[in-house]
Structure 1
Amino acid sequence: MRFLLLSLLSLSTACAQASSTVHPQALRLSENSAPLRIDGQLDEAHWQRAPVYDRFVQFQPEDKKPAAWRTTVQILVTQDALVFGIRAYDPAPDLIRAPLKRRDTVARDQDFISVVLDPIGLRRSAQFARVSAAGVIGDGMFTAADDGEDFAPDFELEAAAQRLPDGYSIELRWPLASLRYPYSGGLPWRLMVVRNIPRQEANTLNVSAPLTKDALSFIAELQPIEGLSDLVEQVRERSFLSVRPELTLRRREDQAEGRPDSRKRESNLGGELKWRPRADWVIDAVLNPDFSQVELDAPQLSGNTRFALSLPEKRPFFLESADVVGQTKADEEGQNRSLAAFYSRAITDPDWGLRSTWRGASADATLLSLRDAGGGQVLRPHAYGTDSFVQPRDSQASFARGRMQIDALNLGLLASDRRYGHGQYNRVGGSDFSWAASDVDLLRGHLLLSSTRSQLDPDTPDLRPGSENGHHLWLGWRRRTEQWNTLFNLEDVSPRFANDNGFVSQSGYRRGTLKLSRRFNEESLAPLGEWSRFPTYELEAELRLAETRSVQDALHGVPGGELIERRVQPGFWIATARNTGIWGHLGLDQQRAKTGGRLHEPRTLTLGFESNPHPILAFITAEMEWGRRLDVDADRLGRGGNVWLLAKLRVPMPTGLGLEVEQQWSEGYVHGAQPGRSFTDNFRQTLAVLHWSPRDSLRLIAQATHFQRREELGLAADASHTRHTSLMYQHRVGLSRVLSLGLTRFNDSPGGRRSTELFAKAQVAWQP
């Protein structure tokens, strides 16, 4: 009997292993195969024949553990798309969180499946698509060098979800036209499927690849997809063309104190074109686009800083192959390194634009040029602030970047040119690199050289016979092991460096930064469980050090070697239940507000947290800083604080409806020498979206800013207020058909400016 039981057990184990492939494997369908319905059902005969992959492991909250709940992946290859069929088994299906949401808001508070796909095979960048259990899509690009994801790019995807008695299933159709891969010589396509399971006791992230937290990036362990064989050779010659005309109608009324009212009606006809003549080339063109209905930027506190603030890009023309351009989000130290080379928000109102992108097996390149109607700002930074000037009208903005990979080394060259006419220009050229020196070490850097000849301020002629030259040098090292995470950066930026196609808020300085993080393992964390009611999944002790000194700048009267800022910030970070992170640090810093001014020693305590606490309160994060803070304009210390809060709620609604509400609020202040606050700077934004179908929604955004400073210490009293309200109905069918109807109102004081606008906008994609 014992022998029989052992034999049956061995047979059962062998059968289970036979039902799962070692790597994800695709099934090729013939041209005569019946078309697939993307409905989330997985009931067609093709799915019964497709190989099954189910070797998932846990990545969060604790890695190196097998996944507790089964997830299966199947892949079909049609003539024009990859189709993924994924089953997510769940022993408690009633607890699945599947709200209706906006595109790109599929987050860790929801049950979702993510497909991370690298059709180049180098694990340098990857396209990803998240599909929630409600069928909502979130997509974007992941870049290994920054170890960060960007939800701004959108791809033409089709997805559907189906709730089941034992979980849910997903079907995702990813057209080959939306993938970017080389014409020849490419490596096998690579894949990782991610499953997120939010529960009260823990938020679990399972992955289909052997990924651990020691990896340099989230895409370090993508696995090859078997069964594709000669797919690239068969489809690489196919041409794809998409034309997206748009029509905007608006009626606007403007009022201002001391000026007559203005009323006008406008119509704007424009469009975008995307042409992929073959696999490795993509041509983008835009003519007279209207970006005014892009979602409002969240306001930022700017009343206690002299440096400009960057904003994320949301306009689709600039998001094609964002990894090739190199425009990414801020790194872990909050510095926009790559934005120094290119920042698309510097292009304000393009009349037309043209862009070409090429991808090879070990190299890629992009070139773009746009005619900008102006209306924005041009930045001229220095060591203690950013001067801002009105952007000259009708400038030509051009940018090119190419890079190649030699084993673990990536080398890039870039050139940027901004021409304003009348002999005025800004030119930048340079090189960048990244080198994975080992499995735990990554080196990065760039050197940019600028040449500028401009006259931006009519009251201060700065147009000189010759050009002003400058440089921007940055070197960075990141090392990640099981116990230590180290970041080290060196920067040298000359006083006259400027990039009008990039974002540079400070120049004329040399800076060194070091961040050390000691990671504690499970054995070290065990004693914490004895006094805490919540489990501790991760604990890091941190130390941040930074020193910034000036470079001599005769124009602004700044001597060389002056200490601008020194940071000494010991801190911690804890990960616990419900996807909760808690962090904090002491600020034992030194700061100088202006050249020759006093070197102040602010002392602050910063605490923050983020969590997915409840199905209704889906996400909340807050950060609070208080202590002795520097009042930059008054050049003195005072008791003060800075508080920021973001809460996302899902309000229970009848079946078929969804209501999401986001509330964001921030306030900063410093007390003066006299009782009371010297200044107060705050903003608030409320965003509410009512969904009554996956295609139809009504969105309300109401935001306000307020800044007030009292008169003291030679500073004049100052106050400003703005209110902005937007109400918009939108009908959206993927990216191909979008209809928007809306009303916006704006109030600003001082000046008493008020504007009201009614608009209608239609976009329809045509694919011949």
Structure 2
Amino acid sequence: MISTLFKRWPACALLALATLNTPALANTTCAALHVPDGASVVFNGTLDDPLWQAATEYDQFWEYQPVDGQVAPVRTTVRVLYDAKAVYFGIRAYDPHPENIRAPLVRRDNVKTNQDFVAVYLDPIGAGKSALFVRVNPRGVIADGTYSADTDNADFSPDFEVDAKTAMLKDGYSAVIRIPFTELRFTDNATKSWQFQIMRSYPRDQSYLFLSVPLLQTATNMLALMTPLDQLKAAAPSNNLSVRPQFTLRADRDSVAGMPAQQSWHLDAGFDLKWQPNAAWVVDATFKPDFSQIELDVPQLTSNAQFALQLQEKRPFFLESSDILESPTLMNEQGGNGPKALYTRAITQPDWGLRATRRDDNTEATIMAANDTGGSQVLIPHAFTTDTVNQPESDVAFGRARMYLDNLSIGGLFTARNYAGGLGDNAVIGPDVVWRSAAGDRVRAQWLVSSTSALAGDDGLLHKGAAQGGSDLLVDWIRKTPDWEPSLTYQQVSDHFRDDTGFFGQSGYRQLTAQLVQRTRLGGDWSEIDPYVQVQQSVTTDDGSTVQRLFAPGVTLYGPHNTSIELEYHPAMAQRVAAGDQLHSFNQVVLDVQSNPAAWFPFLEAKTILGDQVDIDNDRVSPGVYTLIDARFRALDRLEIEPRFEQTVLRGPDGNTALRDTAVQLLTVLHFTGQDSARAILQRETTRRNAILVTDVAPSYYQSDSVSLTYAHRWSALKVWYLGATWSQNIDTGSSTTRDAEVFTKFQFEI
């Protein structure tokens, strides 16, 4: 039955596409005013200067959330200027009750919808496929990044050399945002107008988002409707070169219980280089980059995870035009740990790297080569688990290209990794396509094939062997209408598929997922209720045995303070731990609540899973509870406090605790000024397992503690001085306790 569905569902999806159609929305235009030669833009956050007053005022804004399509209840205006080096957006946010404006000092990229802010989405290509975005709150704090229409994903990881100034006014606030042309990718002979979109966040008893276009929530992405920016004649950058040296001095102390401590001093120097021969091309290079002071990754529960978990990219060299790296495999419906065709965190510690990127009217491409000194793990995926082996040194290359044809994008990518010492290689290549309609449909497909001669040995190392081939196929469809949101996803990954420069924690399976959401507008403070049902079946590709089965009816309720309450029931979950083992059946209830309760309490997520869970190590069903509490507090205007608690508890047959897996993080940031801040991160991960049955794995205890203290002074996004210290320890049953301490100072700047 399942195999028949796998064969027939694409035809059913195409038939459904052919029967659905709705009209598109119209749009209006806005003009940019050129700053005369010899004049300069007054950059103080206000719009009082005659230059600003001479610019055309654009004031058409619509509500996007919680109810789309209505005229915005408060006024917002935008004016646009440009000179030889940059484009300027002047935004006026009127407010009948300015005393309620939420404008805290926060870290860069932490301007969220629980704060007032204005944002610019700017697409200099004019194709509506990608955009640079800049958010700024009334205190002048910036959040920036890139947005991709194909994946409907906003990536806050890139930091651009953009500026913003704000001014508090008696009837609201104003903001001026400067975006240099050197930060944008466009062509000298563009055939389309630049496009932009302004967003305004207005959090009160109800959380509102306003847009400068009448975009509906049924749109498949935020760039489906934008405003043309007429009369802008950008001066394309030519031979623009910047060198960004970085110097790090550190003192280390490493110790193993029972042995003398080892102390050392290190002075590390490296640099990043960025060269723009013209507006369309950019070349990035890095040599001896130092990634050691990157903010600690959020701890994850791993002791009862069946497959590998991934981490967010935070390293600047990999973030140039990061949206180009995205492909359909990124948006796996299982969430953030779904497969990725390109996963730059797989390049652990590059000794050097060289990358070239190009964008023009209809195409975009990037290609990179690097030497990776390794030191992490290589994922060896299987149908029921993810094995790992030590990652040796390797030469790495990848490329990604995309071509746009109206609502169709056609792309392809390749990855190649050759391991040092003749240990073999891994290569992946394949095309992808995304099609979107004005009626709210999106269809994506990707086909990848791999060849691998670097095979995992029983000794936990790679060894060269006869090359093994594999493939990955992903096809999905989603349709958004005012009342219904159906979707279908099919993915098939063969037994020997591997992508050592991507992220694939599972292979040898095929999976079909169907979901249907009904959207019901309520019209009050509780604005919407969405009942839904999701069905998912995953089976092995060799014998068709079930890996996982899910039937999940649920409902999500949206209300005041950006609150969402999601209740989901799993009446017949099924999961298998290993080939030939028992298929476990069990029930669960999931409750997930998210809200922005108040200005002093801007975010809360509380999630719990009640019911049975599979104890992976013991291959049995155990009663259990999963708990997640993630919060943000602003007791003082300059102090951020972010506690996070995550825990899984499984019970044994006698009712006692068989497994307790806990991850805790406390992050605090004290802002002295907009440029000076002190950050403290405390983390603890613990796993305690007790033997309940004689067949259980041996009792064990693991504890990992980390403390990071960092003071930072920022002149700009690229000129920063750090002073800090870190300390960590690991305690593991059967192993010696290890402790590491480090004091460091780091300076990075731009020439």
Q: Same fold (TM over 0.5)?
A: yes
Moved over 6 A (4+): none
**1:754 and 2:744 matched:** no
2:124–2:185 Cα contact (<8 Å) kept: yes
Q: Deviations 1:455-488 (Å, cap 9, x if unpaired)?
A: 4436378746520111011111111111111221
**1:544 and 2:543 matched:** no
Distance 1:740 1:609 in 2: 37
1:367-446 map, 5 Å? 367-392=367-392, 394-421=393-420, 422=422, 424-446=424-446
Change in CA separation of 1:438 and 1:50 when aligned onto 2, cut-off 3 Å: closer
Which one of the candidate residues 205, 208, 219 is aligned to 1:204? Answer: 208
Aligned to 2:51, what secondary structure does the other structure show?
Answer: helix
CA RMSD of aligned residues (A): 1.7
In the alignment, residue 664 of structure 1 is paired with which amino acid?
A: R
**1:632 and 2:608 matched:** no
Which one of the candidate residues 209, 213, 218 is aligned to 1:214? Answer: 218
1:137-536 map, 5 Å? 137-199=142-204, 201-228=205-232, 231-232=233-234, 235-236=235-236, 238-326=238-326, 331=331, 333-335=333-335, 339-392=339-392, 394-421=393-420, 422=422, 424-457=424-457, 459=459, 463=463, 465-521=465-521, 525=522, 535-536=525-526
Which one of the candidate residues 732, 752, 756 is aligned to 2:714? Answer: 732
Partner in structure 1 of residue 605 of structure 2: 621
In the alignment, residue 319 of structure 1 is paired with which amino acid?
A: L
1:186–1:360 Cα contact (<8 Å) kept: no
Q: Deviations 1:641-674 (Å, cap 9, x if unpaired)?
A: 1011110011225xxxx10110100000111112
- By how many angstroms is 1:726 displaced? 0.3
- By how many angstroms is 1:36 displaced? 2.2
* Larger deviation, residues 429-438 vs 262-271: 429-438
Q: Deviations 1:111-160 (Å, cap 9, x if unpaired)?
A: 10010111111111111000001000000111112222111111110101
Which one of the candidate residues 599, 606, 609 is aligned to 2:590? Answer: 606
Change in CA separation of 1:387 and 1:413 when aligned onto 2, cut-off 3 Å: same
Distance 2:117 2:166 in 1: 10
Which one of the candidate residues 687, 690, 700 is aligned to 1:718? Answer: 700
2:307–2:386 Cα contact (<8 Å) kept: yes
Aligned to 1:467, what secondary structure does the other structure show?
Answer: strand
- By how many angstroms is 1:437 displaced? 4.3
**1:102 and 2:107 matched:** yes
Listed as ranges, the gaps of 5+ residues in structure 1 are 1-20, 530-534, 553-559
* Larger deviation, residues 407-416 vs 681-690: 407-416
Distance 1:549 1:608 in 2: 28
Distance 1:628 1:396 in 2: 45
- By how many angstroms is 1:406 displaced? 2.0
Distance 1:286 1:176 in 2: 23
Distance 1:404 1:89 in 2: 41
In percent, how many aligned pairs have the same letter? 37
Listed as ranges, the gaps of 5+ residues in structure 2 are 1-26
- By how many angstroms is 1:330 displaced? 5.5
Aligned to 2:364, what secondary structure does the other structure show?
Answer: strand
Distance 2:352 2:460 in 1: 32
Aligned to 1:617, what secondary structure does the other structure show?
Answer: coil
Distance 2:709 2:528 in 1: 42
- By how many angstroms is 1:22 displaced? 4.7
Distance 1:169 1:81 in 2: 19
Q: Deviations 1:401-427 (Å, cap 9, x if unpaired)?
A: 111112222111211100113151001
2:307–2:505 Cα contact (<8 Å) kept: yes
Partner in structure 2 of residue 32 of structure 1: 38
2:299–2:685 Cα contact (<8 Å) kept: yes
Q: Deviations 1:614-635 (Å, cap 9, x if unpaired)?
A: 1111111111101122111111
Distance 1:58 1:441 in 2: 23
- By how many angstroms is 1:547 displaced? 0.3
- By how many angstroms is 1:186 displaced? 3.7
1:38–1:158 Cα contact (<8 Å) kept: no
Which one of the candidate residues 111, 118, 124 is aligned to 2:123? Answer: 118
In the alignment, residue 376 of structure 1 is paired with which amino acid?
A: S
Distance 2:424 2:508 in 1: 22
- By how many angstroms is 1:438 displaced? 4.7
Distance 1:630 1:207 in 2: 45
2:454–2:465 Cα contact (<8 Å) kept: no
- By how many angstroms is 1:682 displaced? 0.6
Distance 1:198 1:727 in 2: 32
Distance 2:335 2:647 in 1: 22
Distance 2:284 2:551 in 1: 47
Partner in structure 2 of residue 555 of structure 1: none
Distance 2:433 2:190 in 1: 23
- By how many angstroms is 1:439 displaced? 2.5
Change in CA separation of 1:45 and 1:586 when aligned onto 2, cut-off 3 Å: same
Q: Deviations 1:171-203 (Å, cap 9, x if unpaired)?
A: 11110111111332442111110111111x211
TM normalised by structure 1 equals: 0.91
Partner in structure 2 of residue 693 of structure 1: 673
**1:76 and 2:84 matched:** no
1:659–1:691 Cα contact (<8 Å) kept: yes
1:52-67 map, 5 Å? 52-67=57-72
In the alignment, residue 242 of structure 1 is paired with which amino acid?
A: S
Distance 1:460 1:299 in 2: 25
TM normalised by structure 2 equals: 0.93
Change in CA separation of 1:409 and 1:379 when aligned onto 2, cut-off 3 Å: same
Q: Deviations 1:12-63 (Å, cap 9, x if unpaired)?
A: xxxxxxxxx9522210112221x22321022222011111001111111111
- By how many angstroms is 1:741 displaced? 0.2
Change in CA separation of 1:329 and 1:169 when aligned onto 2, cut-off 3 Å: farther
Partner in structure 2 of residue 670 of structure 1: 650
2:730–2:737 Cα contact (<8 Å) kept: yes
Change in CA separation of 1:745 and 1:183 when aligned onto 2, cut-off 3 Å: same
Partner in structure 1 of residue 8 of structure 2: none
Partner in structure 2 of residue 42 of structure 1: 47
Distance 1:561 1:334 in 2: 21
Distance 1:616 1:338 in 2: 34
1:708–1:720 Cα contact (<8 Å) kept: yes
Change in CA separation of 1:88 and 1:328 when aligned onto 2, cut-off 3 Å: farther
Partner in structure 2 of residue 8 of structure 1: none
Change in CA separation of 1:339 and 1:591 when aligned onto 2, cut-off 3 Å: closer
Aligned to 2:99, what secondary structure does the other structure show?
Answer: helix
In the alignment, residue 80 of structure 1 is paired with which amino acid?
A: K
Change in CA separation of 1:431 and 1:409 when aligned onto 2, cut-off 3 Å: same
Aligned to 1:48, what secondary structure does the other structure show?
Answer: helix
Change in CA separation of 1:516 and 1:212 when aligned onto 2, cut-off 3 Å: same
Partner in structure 1 of residue 136 of structure 2: 131
Aligned to 1:259, what secondary structure does the other structure show?
Answer: coil
Distance 2:337 2:577 in 1: 23
Distance 1:496 1:381 in 2: 8
Distance 1:749 1:61 in 2: 48
Change in CA separation of 1:338 and 1:716 when aligned onto 2, cut-off 3 Å: closer
Partner in structure 2 of residue 647 of structure 1: 631
Partner in structure 2 of residue 765 of structure 1: 750
1:184–1:360 Cα contact (<8 Å) kept: no
Change in CA separation of 1:648 and 1:669 when aligned onto 2, cut-off 3 Å: same
Change in CA separation of 1:765 and 1:177 when aligned onto 2, cut-off 3 Å: same
1:433–1:446 Cα contact (<8 Å) kept: yes
Distance 2:463 2:350 in 1: 26
1:667–1:680 Cα contact (<8 Å) kept: yes
Distance 1:583 1:286 in 2: 45
Distance 1:137 1:543 in 2: 38
- By how many angstroms is 1:584 displaced? 1.5
In the alignment, residue 177 of structure 1 is paired with which amino acid?
A: T
**1:578 and 2:561 matched:** yes
Change in CA separation of 1:701 and 1:96 when aligned onto 2, cut-off 3 Å: same
Distance 2:338 2:194 in 1: 27
